Structure 1
Amino acid sequence: MQDTLEVEIQEIVDAAHRYQQCLDVEGTSGASNGVVQPANLRESRRALLETLNKWKLIAAGPTEQWEQTTINYCAESCLNWLLQFDIPRLVPLDATTTYSEVAEAAAVPEQELRRIMRFGMTQGLFSEATPGQIVHTPYSAAFATNEDYRQVVLLQTGFFSPMMKCLAEATKAHDAPSSMNTAAFNIAMQTENSFYAHVAKTPELTKRFGSGMRFLAGADDTSPKFLVEYFDWTALGNAHVVDVGGSTGHISAALAKAYPALTFTVQDLPPMIAKANVSQLSPDISGRIEFVPHNFFHPQPETSRDADVFLLRMILNNWTSLKCEEILTNVAAIMRPGAVMLLNNFMLHEPGTVGKRAEALERARDLFQMAAMNGMERDLDGWNELVGKIAGLRIREVIRQPGSSQALIVVDKEAS
């Protein structure tokens, strides 16, 4: 047992050593206020976190797990409080301050501030250089210097968290997830509006969602780089791509820039198409992208019949399975022989095939979809089941992004 423990402890030491080597190469302390990091630093950091998490789970018994749950819900509430009152920006980045000075600036009771900040310090938020003298840590400083980060964490702690706590109530209320407006979100917010309809009607939430999109731009799990680089677009030649539910066309623009032989039709609802700023597209791609109002729950227009590729990127996780079948059926009905449907979505790894921390993040995304809109993330079996329900469709190929949850699912239509 001792030999085994020593080997495992060495695993932690080795992971920490590799991480430190990457820090030395990059010339950084490891602090970052964004999600985009050099690949070697990102991978070594994740490896160290996985190793530490593994041993935390091994060391913790039921009592310690309960204690951690206590810490977790207090940490979430503490963080939300600190951000609601904008405390990180009231602490100087390069000097110390006192509780009384911060409390006065924030117009909050000093005793409450002191208690909440001192709990936050146990989680890496702020520090006391000397008793009563507050200074920033890299974690707390990120909230002072990156407004998008602050907004997305406020979104998580103030909006997503209450929604997640209503999962059990949603299950009790509805035997099966039949629609988007019977989700945990609807119970938490006491609304019959769907998740996105509610967000669209709430300016503060709209702002925070925009911040979240900007903050996550470039992250491995959401970056369009995978779609651009991992699929063999060149082999298609002078192909036409229909970008189904393509928003304002940012994905089509990225593909058009990389592949001059491709042309695109971006489809989305009229309000979204109206936001597309065609004038901002560079001249070399603007003539190859057209924007067409279309609801993907309606049959595809006849103009789509000659398309070579139907691209659905990050669409199907946002809808119930029945709605996903409607979307796929409408696309399948217009696909000609030789055309493909390309689903760019997340794909859950099989249990135990990635580290527990990485798997937890994947499954947290799945539970978010369940709580928000009765949507879901799928593993390979789930994708085969969904596609298999549509007459004539079959999955030809699956391309996984190394170290990420993104996948490209290439779907053919069998000759009738």
Structure 2
Amino acid sequence: MTLTRATDLASLIASNTAKYNDYLLKNDLPPPSLDLLPPEAPLRLPDDISTARELAIEASHELHELLCGPIGLIMNAAPRSTRIMSLHFVHTYKVGYNLGWGEKTTFAQIAKDCNLDEEDTRRMLRLAMTDYLFTEPENGVVMHSAASYELARNPLLSAWIGVTVQENWSPMLKISEAISKYPGSEEPMESAYAIAHNLSEMPFKVWERDPKRIKQFSDAMAFLHSDSGFQPSHILLGCQFSGPDPPTFVDIGGSQGHVSISLARLHPNMKFIVQDTPQTVALGAEQLPEDLKDGVTFMAHDFWNEQPVKDADVYFFRCIFHDWSDKYSVRILRNLIPALKKGARVIISDVCIPPKGVVSMYKEHWIRGLDVVMKCFTNAKEREAGDWAALFTKADPRFKFLGVRMPPGSKDAVIEAEWTSAEDVKVQPNGSESGTNGSLGSEAPILNGM
């Protein structure tokens, strides 16, 4: 009998699922379930087991699409979007957030607590149940599933969903309008996000005036950084520092210091400075563990202005440049130049789009989707390796691009460049630099106060 792609995929799913399941059994770990009480902490798997799990997921995704067929694949798009509706409803009304594991409630009680119509509530939650959010063990009775309980008990996950449904969803419906109205734009105020939210100023400026909104975004970033594949332990891999002083690591746009706190525990001999908006760094300083107060400090700094920390060893950006088009990313890099000593590293932790066909369609879908989400947000983008190299060259040829590395198990790439000049360079008000290389020209207007 001739094997088809479908049977090949089924075999891949079976073999890799068996490998994953055997590991769980041998280590007395709970089997995959959406009904059992979820573990307190995410499961950390050995690399080979994690790979087996990923291969099973990727193969099952392809098999599902293959069996649906061309028409079914297209027709399934609409039902998939309803998961966002369900999550939006649950998050908005905090449905089940006060419901314990194993406890029961009713549609009527939820409707009363949320000041909603009972039929509307029942219809929305029964839709959510088809995505394994909540269960209905008997008619009219509601209990948590593992997924809905995780959302209810994990405030960082809830914040991530809040950003998804409140900030990112509506711009997705405006992307076609935006690219028609502003073809090829690199301007944040000409983005789908600006259209959808009817903005008259930059989104980050709007958020800064709303403490709840900025906290939700900061908490969402904390959740992202805690997820498997986003841990920062590999950031300083291969970095060697010389000199009598402790190496200094400047975490630019570092939110509440989640990356620096993790790295400070791994590298207690280093000095970490976290920079972000005044509101965000105030929260970070307030929550900083007592044992790290000598190694981690916070500083309010706007990266559209000249970098105030001079002669540091590392200037680090995590998930910053994908928020900005090339025009504005060049400006961010140029604002570092007056602070840089020869040999200083610029390290960026961000997505690097792999060459076409290198990863599965399942993984590429995630990356390409993220790329367009960033287009929606500020007319920004995710970049390929060549794009990253070109960005440093455009900012200043004295940046020596060191390449892109993809640590095993990581979802973010590590992009590095080294500053090769020992000369003083001053950023001019028009965005150019003065030095032996002469003017590099104006790239982007100064964005004061962002």
Amino acid at match of 2:167: F
What is the distance in 2 between the residues matched to 1:90 and 1:249? 29
Map 1:124-163 to 2 at 5 A.
124-163=132-171
Offset from partner CA, 1:150-206 (integer Å, 9 cap, x none): 343233223311022111122122123232222111101101222222222334433
Overall identity of the aligned pairs, in % = 22
Identify which range, 32-41 or 196-205, moves more after superposition.
32-41
SS of 2:354 mapped into structure 1: coil
CA offset digits 1:338-370 (Å, max 9, x no partner): 333222322222232222222222222222222
- Greater shift after overlay, 24-33 or 117-126? 24-33
Contact 1:124 1:137 in 2 (8 A): yes
Aligned mates of 1:252, 1:107 — CA distance in 2: 43
| 1:3 aligns to 2:3 (yes or no) | yes
Which aligned pairs between 1:313-324 and structure 2 lie closer than 5 A? 313-324=318-329
Q: Does residue 350 in structure 1 map to residue 355 in structure 2?
A: yes
In 1: Cα distance, 2:41 partner to 2:359 partner = 20
In structure 2, the residue matched to 1:88 is 96
Gap change, CA 1:325 and 1:226, over 3 Å in 2: same
Q: CA deviation at 1:247?
A: 4.5
Residues 1:397 and 2:398 are matched in the alignment: no
Match of 1:189 in 2: 197
1:279, 1:75 → 2: CA distance?
A: 34
Cα distance per residue 1:205-234 (max 9 Å; x no partner):
334324423433421343222215x34346
Of stretches 237-246 and 339-348 in structure 1, the one that deviates more from structure 2 is: 237-246
1:29 matched to which residue of 2?
A: 31
8 Å contact from structure 1 (residues 183, 374) kept in 2: yes
| 1: CA distance, partners of 2:75 / 2:199 | 34
* Contact in 2 for aligned 1:126/1:136 (Cα 8 Å): yes
Q: Determine the C-alpha separation between the residues in 2 that align with 1:118 and 1:271.
A: 40
- Structure 1 counterpart of 2:77: 69
1:175 alignment partner, one of 161, 183, 189:
183
Count of paired positions = 412
**Which residue is 1:215 aligned to?**
223
Matching residue of 2:232: 224
Change (3 A) 1:132 1:250: closer
Residue 116 of structure 2 is matched in structure 1 by: 108
In structure 1, what is the Cα distance between the partners aligned to 2:258 and 2:50? 26
Residue 208 (structure 2) aligns with: 200
* Distance (whole Å) between structure 2 residues aligned to residue 316 and residue 28 of structure 1: 39
Q: CA, structure 1 residues 329+14, in 2 after alignment: closer, same or farther (shift >3 Å)? A: same
CA contact (8 A) 1:337 1:413 kept: yes
What amino acid is aligned across from residue 402 of structure 1 in structure 2?
P
RMSD between aligned alpha carbons?
Answer: 3.2
Residue 174 (structure 2) aligns with: 166
> Per the alignment, in what secondary structure is the counterpart of residue 336 of structure 1?
coil
Question: Is the deviation greater in 381-390 or in 263-272?
Answer: 263-272
SS in 2 for 1:376: coil
| Matched position secondary structure for 1:410 | strand
Residues 274, 6 of structure 1: CA spacing in aligned structure 2 closer, same or farther, 3 A cutoff? Answer: closer
Q: Which runs of 5+ in 2 are unaligned?
A: 422-435, 437-450
Matched residue type, 1:49: I
TM-score by length of 2: 0.79
CA distance in 1, matches of 2:106, 2:272: 58
Q: Deviations over 1:83-116 (max 9, x none)?
A: 3333334766325544444444444333223332
Tell me the distance in 2 between the aligned counterparts of 1:274 and 1:105. Answer: 34
Distance 2:355 2:103 in 1: 48
Task: Tell me if structure 2 keeps the 8 A contact 1:233–1:259.
Answer: no
Q: Residue 418 of structure 2: SS of its match in structure 1?
A: strand
Between 115-124 and 130-139, the greater mean CA deviation after superposition: 130-139
- Asked if structure 2 preserves the Cα contact closer than 8 Å seen for 1:348 and 1:405, the reply is no
The verdict on how the C-alpha distance between 1:388 and 1:55 changes in structure 2, with shifts beyond 3 A counting, is: same
Deviations, residues 113-161 of structure 1 (Å, cap 9, x unaligned): 3332332222222333344444432222323333433343233223311
Q: Matched residues in 1 for 2:302 and 2:109: separation? A: 54
